[in-house]
């Protein structure tokens, strides 16, 4: 498989903390890549670095052989890299359908729509992530939708950009049992449509069902990479999550 | 697209749009008829000021209420435009119908200049910074009276006839509000609102928020400028009072009382406040106090302003994106093909 996004030796420091430390990663076209690591490992910072919300101190990001390291977030979004946020941030005073319509006003969406109707497209995006049905959801405000729906609304907003890569930051965070299975189905469907997906997640059981490959971060650096089963047995990974054997954890 | 929920929603949208249109037409009608009821110079003058401050309030609203960039120094645009209109009239002899839009253009320029620090400052800090800009200009005028002339006197009036002046102000107000509401309902308005709600999400949605912030400042500057230019000709003079913080406060109170982010609310807020202002003339020293009190009460008990109160009373949605209008049309087509 061809790589679609290449991250080379990217670094970012916040004050005294090296949030991302010489991190490199190849994302292959069409795969579902899981990005895991303990809290504070630098996963979300990595997303921010890819999408331009945070500028790297050094290192490069290439998207389809084009250097996107120094570009602004909206430019990167318009190239086809869409993201969601860990703390979902819908447009609270706007209707669900308007939330999605904002993405449809972007340059990329306008080019790809060739005359089709904005409302129609917004509805389609909401249906793709199962915010609709029920139809009444499209007229709920961003602030009125339940947590599970806003998580998927965020994905619908990202999907409206017709992205080639979708970066999902903890899509399962705070979801109930039923909502998790819907989310799982939605992500699987998007994968089948050929969208490259990167997922940050702590809920390992859900991630294991989806991810074809896992990358593990710890203190901003990569400590393991490979098929999920192998990574789960990796010594360093166990250490990062549980501490070293013989540590005086219970002393 | 056939679904009961969808049908109900379409019905709601339909109701909201026709309600809004009715209110607009009714307001225009009543205001247009007012001079037939009274030709009292004093009352008409109050109404003229109410019209000017409707535009001024709406200009604040497009920036503060719709886009979420709180400016506490709206008088800056108003004042610069007033001075420019005055100077163009006095020194170059341009008539008011030319100096007022040119004043608006200067408002745009000032708006674009002020937009630059707003990109670097968080909203709260920008609000504080914006409070200072008009004071700086007023200070310069006070410091170099020989250069700035302090005030400018003897401008051409809008018209010698108060009724004509009233109708000019009304026309200007209705056109300005109409244009701003059109913008609010368009895709530009949708993007402005998204920036207010969450700038990062808007940016992640592929929206160039910097560009749209500049646009919001330009629009705000233009309409504040028009109001400033009109007032300069109305009073036939301009002085440093056009940079008064109280003036900035007035723009904000008008918009907030009417309903922030609704644009049309500024009309209601401005008319109410104009009459209140007149009623308080005998106790002018308490005026700021009363304004502040109104502000506190509005924020505490009526955060959505008059417009949102009406919306609740008549159960209509105030959501304004015109994309929804299509839904109504399509539903109508589905019912009567």
Q: B190 and A106: CB-CB below 8 Å? A: no
Compute the average pLDDT of residues A223-231: 85
| Partner residues linked to B240 by β-bridges | none
Which is higher by pLDDT, A209 or B7? A209
Residues of chain A with Cβ-Cβ distance to B191 below 8 Å are: 102, 105
The per-residue pLDDT of chain B, averaged, comes to 85
Q: A105 and B187: CB-CB below 8 Å? A: yes
> Domains, chain B, ranges and CATH?
4-329 (1.10.3470)
Compute the average pLDDT of residues B103-111: 94
Residue A164: name the closest of A83, A87, A107 by CA: A83
B308 and A CB contact within 8 Å: no
| Helices marked H in A21-146 | 43-50, 73-79, 96-104, 107-113, 118-128
Q: Render pLDDT for B148-163 as a digit per residue (tens, 0 to 9).
A: 666 788 888 888 888 8
Which range has the worst mean pLDDT, A107-121, B98-112, B295-309? A107-121
Cis peptide before B269 (omega within 30 of 0): no
Compute the average pLDDT of residues B257-276: 89
Q: Render pLDDT for B171-196 as a digit per residue (tens, 0 to 9).
A: 999 999 999 988 988 889 999 999 99
Residue A223: name the closest of A240, A211, A208, A210 by CA: A240
B303 and A CB contact within 8 Å: no
> Domains, chain A, ranges and CATH?
1-80+165-174+195-244 (3.40.50.300), 86-163 (no CATH)
User: A-contacting residues of B 163-192, CB under 8 Å?
Assistant: 187, 190-191
In the predicted model, is pLDDT for residue B10 greater than 90? no
* Residue corresponding to tokens 């401005």: B270
Residues with Cβ within 8 Å of residue B82, at least 6 apart in sequence: B103, B228, B229, B231, B232, B238, B242
pLDDT in the model for residue B59:
96
Among A118, A133, A157, beta carbon nearest to B205: A157
Which range has the worst mean pLDDT, A14-28, A168-182, B310-324? B310-324
A242 and B CB contact within 8 Å: no
Helix axes A147-159, A177-192, angle to 10 degrees: 10
In the predicted model, is pLDDT for residue B18 greater than 90? no
pLDDT in the model for residue A248:
47
Distance from CA of B200 to the nearest CA of A (A): 8
Residue ranges with strand state E in A185-229: 196-200, 213-218, 221-226
B123 and A CB contact within 8 Å: no
Residues of chain B with Cβ-Cβ distance to A82 below 8 Å are: 204
Among B6, B194, B204, beta carbon nearest to A73: B204
Rounded to whole angstroms, the maximal C-alpha distance in chain B is 72
pLDDT bin (cut points 50, 70, 90) of residue B220 is very high
B95 and A CB contact within 8 Å: no
pLDDT bin (cut points 50, 70, 90) of residue A245 is low
Taking CA–CA distances from B206, the nearest residue in chain A reads: A74
pLDDT in the model for residue B203:
93
Compute the average pLDDT of residues B280-290: 82
In the predicted model, is pLDDT for residue B1 greater than 60? no
Among A78, A94, A134, beta carbon nearest to B194: A94
Q: Are B183 and B62 in contact (CB under 8 A)?
A: yes
- Phi, psi of A29, rounded to the nearest 5 degrees: -65, 130
pLDDT in the model for residue B304:
82
Q: What pTM was estimated for this model as a whole?
A: 0.90
Among A94, A122, A123, beta carbon nearest to B197: A94
B20 and A CB contact within 8 Å: no
| Partner residues linked to A7 by β-bridges | A25, A61
Q: Render pLDDT for B80-96 as a digit per residue (tens, 0 to 9).
A: 999 999 989 988 989 98
* Residue corresponding to tokens 């002899």: B93
- Phi, psi of B190, rounded to the nearest 5 degrees: -60, -45
CA distances from residue B117 to A15, B113, B192, B217 in whole angstroms, order as listed: 25, 8, 18, 12
A143 and B CB contact within 8 Å: no
User: B-contacting residues of A 79-108, CB under 8 Å?
Assistant: 82-83, 85, 89-95, 97-98, 101-103, 105-108
Q: A91 and B193: CB-CB below 8 Å? A: yes
Which range has the worst mean pLDDT, A5-19, A93-107, B297-311? B297-311
| Partner residues linked to A213 by β-bridges | A33
């Amino acid at each position: 498989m061809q790589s679609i996004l290449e991250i080379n030796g990217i670094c970012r420091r916040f004050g005294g903390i090296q949030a991302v430390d010489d991190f490199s990663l190849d994302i292959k076209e069409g795969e579902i890549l899981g990005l895991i690591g303990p809290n504070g490992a630098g996963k979300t910072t990595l997303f921010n670095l890819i999408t331009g919300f945070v500028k790297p101190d050094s290192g490069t990001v290439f998207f389809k052989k084009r250097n996107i390291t120094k570009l602004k977030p909206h430019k990167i979004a318009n190239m086809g890299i869409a993201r969601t946020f860990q703390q979902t941030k819908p447009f609270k005073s706007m209707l669900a359908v308007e939330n999605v319509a904002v993405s449809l006003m972007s340059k990329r969406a306008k080019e790809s729509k060739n005359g089709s109707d904005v409302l129609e497209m917004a509805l389609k995006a909401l249906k793709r992530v199962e915010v609709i049905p029920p139809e009444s959801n499209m007229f709920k405000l961003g602030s009125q939708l339940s947590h599970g729906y806003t998580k998927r609304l965020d994905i619908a907003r990202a999907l409206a950009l017709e992205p080639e890569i979708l970066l999902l930051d903890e899509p399962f965070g705070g979801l109930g049992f039923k909502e998790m299975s819907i989310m799982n189905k939605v992500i699987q469907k998007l994968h089948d449509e050929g969208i490259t997906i990167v997922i940050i997640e702590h809920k390992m059981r859900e991630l294991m069902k989806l991810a074809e490959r896992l990358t593990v971060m710890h203190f901003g650096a990569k400590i393991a990479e490979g098929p999920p089963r192998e990574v789960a047995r990796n010594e360093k990974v166990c250490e990062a999550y549980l501490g070293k054997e013989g540590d005086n954890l219970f002393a | 697209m056939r679904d009961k929920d969808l049908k109900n929603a379409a019905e709601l949208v339909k109701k909201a749009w026709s309600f809004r249109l009715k209110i607009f037409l009714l307001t225009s009608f009543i205001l247009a008829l007012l001079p037939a009821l009274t030709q009292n110079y004093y009352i008409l003058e109050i109404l003229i000021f109410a019209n000017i401050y409707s535009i001024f309030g709406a200009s604040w609203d497009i920036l503060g209420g719709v886009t979420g960039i709180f400016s506490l120094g709206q008088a800056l645009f108003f004042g610069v435009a007033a001075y420019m209109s005055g100077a163009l009239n006095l020194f170059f002899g341009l008539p008011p119908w030319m100096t007022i839009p040119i004043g608006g253009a200067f408002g745009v320029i000032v708006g674009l200049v002020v937009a630059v620090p707003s990109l670097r400052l968080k909203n709260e800090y920008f609000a504080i910074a914006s409070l200072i800009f008009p004071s700086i200009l007023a200070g310069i005028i006070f410091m170099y009276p020989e250069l700035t002339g302090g005030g400018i006197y003897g401008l051409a009036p809008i018209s010698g006839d108060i009724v004509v002046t009233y109708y000019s102000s009304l026309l200007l107000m209705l056109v300005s509000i109409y244009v701003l509401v059109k913008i609010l309902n368009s895709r530009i308005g949708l993007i402005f609102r998204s920036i207010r709600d969450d700038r990062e999400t808007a940016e992640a949605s592929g929206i160039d928020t910097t560009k749209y912030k500049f646009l919001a400042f330009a629009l705000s500057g233009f309409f504040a400028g028009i109001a400033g230019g009109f007032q300069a000709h109305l009073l036939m003079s301009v002085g440093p009072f056009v940079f008064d913080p109280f003036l900035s406060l007035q723009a904000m109170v008008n918009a907030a009382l009417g309903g922030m982010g609704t644009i049309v609310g500024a009309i209601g807020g401005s008319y109410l406040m104009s009459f209140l202002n007149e009623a308080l003339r005998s106790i002018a020293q308490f005026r700021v106090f009363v304004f502040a009190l109104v502000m506190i009460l509005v924020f505490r008990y009526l955060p959505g302003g008059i417009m949102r109160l009406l919306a609740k009373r008549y159960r209509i949605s105030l959501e304004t994106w015109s994309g929804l209008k299509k839904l109504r049309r399509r539903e109508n087509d589905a019912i009567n093909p």
